[in-house]
Amino acid sequence: MTYENIRLEHDGAVATLTIDRPKALNALNNKTLQEFEAAVKSLGADTRVLIVTGGGEKAFVAGADIAEMSSIAEHPEAQKFAELGHRAFALLESLAIPTIAAVNGFALGGGCELALACDFIYASEKAQLGLPEVGLGVIPGFGGTQRLTRIVGRARAKELIFTGGRIDAAKAKEIGLVLEVLPAAELLAHCRSVAAKMLKNSPLAISTAKRVIEQGADKDLGEANTLERQGFAELFGSEDQREGMKAFLEKRPAVFTGK
């Protein structure tokens, strides 16, 4: 498929999805969100890690396209736009593979929400993150109020959202929003090195671990541990489990198939 506002590139089992509207600071309009959703849906079983980043040197994604949003005059149209963003980011979040946000610049509003939908975030030293929607008379509409709260806690999320401010990458790391801060020139290389480490492991085990973590996050500890026991047991008898343990005993690298 040919895209206008994004790029989807494959390097072996690692896919990189770039929001590519640098003149608009990669702002998310309807077309970009639709292309993003289509690209995520197009990922095949041969893709084992997805990296999401922004085109150009200034922005990851500077937010939703305010010029387009300002033309929305009625509640049903706004609801439709929010549903598109939620659907696209929920699809990203539900992928069975690890997803990495490489935040290379401004990640504001919808851009911050996009990063929040990934499994983890690495940021360049020049990155800035925030949810400034209240300054526009609205609130985050693509999952930001909920995902941010689950990551940094209720009070910190309220502070960021109510003030509409932005924080630098170092502060984002301090509050647990960003895992690591890298020089801009090293950001993608770092993300790819993390991806390479994941590729050495069982994709079936990784997808099961991701499912158990996500499903257990909002349950009490007893229920969550039940999910873990079930996931652990389900993997026995799989080709990956047999290969992983055989390789360990034979003191050789395992060759996993994801089956």
Distance CA 133, CA 223 (A): 36
Distance CA 242, CA 235 (A): 9
H helices within 75-153, ranges in order? 75-94, 110-116, 144-152
Residue 137 has a CB neighbour count (10 Å cut-off) of 6
Q: Which amino acid is at 116?
A: L
Q: How far is CA 208 from CA 65, 214, 258, in A?
A: 36, 10, 11
98, 206 contact by CB (below 8 A): yes
The tokens of 172 are what? 């984002």
What long-range pairs does 252-255 form, CB within 8 A, spacing at least 24?
253/200, 254/200, 254/202
Q: Which residues are part of the catalytic machinery? A: 113, 133
52, 102 contact by CB (below 8 A): yes
